[in-house]
Structure 1
Amino acid sequence: MQYNGLEKTAQEQNTKTVLIGAAIGMGILVVLLVWAIIQSAHETSALGWILAGIIAAWLGIAVYLLVNVNRTLAAQRRAYEGHAVQRAEYEADVHTEKLAHSFQICLVQSKVIAEQLDVNDENSRDMINRALDTINFTAKNGMELAREGS
């Protein structure tokens, strides 16, 4: 099972939006860090260097979180795609089994018809009609299954 176009586009758009937001936030922190370093160098104040250290720490935390969140999202995406493939394989197997069961029903009912033609007693016509009804009903269901699978 693959992503359809809308799901993939939405996922790419969400990832792009998150990355743009993170880049803007980190850009602001870098500008603040540069400003704090420049101010501290001109005024030679310890408070400016402490502020620059705090900003640098926040920038480091932001980078760390961005990298870890990105890794986690990539791992989740891979796991989801793996589950989607397994689900598609399972659904294909179930679909095949349903079609095979429909064919088996038709074969059994055709055997009933052949037996009843050989017997040819008063109940034979009713049994043949029921078998034909079952074959028709099963064939219609099988055709619907075949359409769903394509």
Structure 2
Amino acid sequence: MQSIESSTRRRGLRLTNVVLLVVVIAFIVAVIFAANQNDIVGWMVVVISGGWLILSTVSLFMVRRGARAVHKTAQNLGSNLAASSAGGNVVDATDPMRDTKVDHSLKIVEVQKRVVTEELAKGDDADMAMIDRALDTIEMTASNARDMLNPDRGKSSKSDPNNGPGTITGDVIN
């Protein structure tokens, strides 16, 4: 498979280089004829062939960049498929939605920590029910955030102390 892909790629690069060489030769020929004839039509042909040369060069670089991007994406997909077929769990580290959700979870933990701190600062007048609800919210949010980072965490064993009890559900009461 690798040799077929490699030979196809080399053949494509050779064909691209040949086409670009033909356009460069046409430009050089047009410049020589225009210089010998020294007329307006000859120089117009030079300008037109130069424009085609610029267009083909820009197109070549854009196609090469696109081909490299497609190749990189295909390699990433292949490695992800290989990892998932081997039993591993693949989590896309560049998932912006997951990052937003985890960020939101951490903000919730920060707010609940502030609630606990404020209530404990009251001393004997602290509302222990509010502290308990805040701690429950922190536990639930942390568990759900960990599940976003490792979706298979709660599936292996419900009693595994390293994985926790799985996703915690419930109503948040303020």
1:19-45 C-alpha deviation (Å, 9 max, x unpaired): 111111111111111111111111111
2:65 alignment counterpart = 71
Equivalent positions of 1:44-123 (< 5 A) are: 44-93=38-87
Q: Any stretches of 5+ residues in structure 1 without a counterpart?
A: 1-6, 95-150
Structure with max Cα Rg: 1
- Offset of 1:65 from its aligned partner? 1.1
Please report the TM-score for the alignment, with normalisation by the length of structure 1: 0.56
- CA offset digits 1:33-86 (Å, max 9, x no partner): 111111111111111111111111111111111111111111111111111111
C-alpha distance in structure 1 between counterparts of 2:67 and 2:2, whole Å: 14
> Any unmatched runs of 5+ in structure 2?
89-174
Please tell me the residue identity of whatever aligns with 1:64: V
For 1:22, the aligned partner's letter is T
The percent of aligned pairs where both chains have the same amino acid is 18
Check if 1:34 corresponds to 2:25.
no
**1:1-16 residue pairs with structure 2 within 5 A?**
7-16=1-10
Q: How many residues align?
A: 88
Helix, strand or coil at the partner of 1:93 = coil
Partner of 1:22: 16
TM-score normalized with structure 2 length: 0.48
Alpha-carbon distance in 2 for matches of 1:80, 1:23: 25
Instruction: Please provide the CA RMSD for this pair.
Output: 1.3
Moved segments of 4+, more than 2 Å: none
Q: Which amino acid aligns with 2:22?
A: I
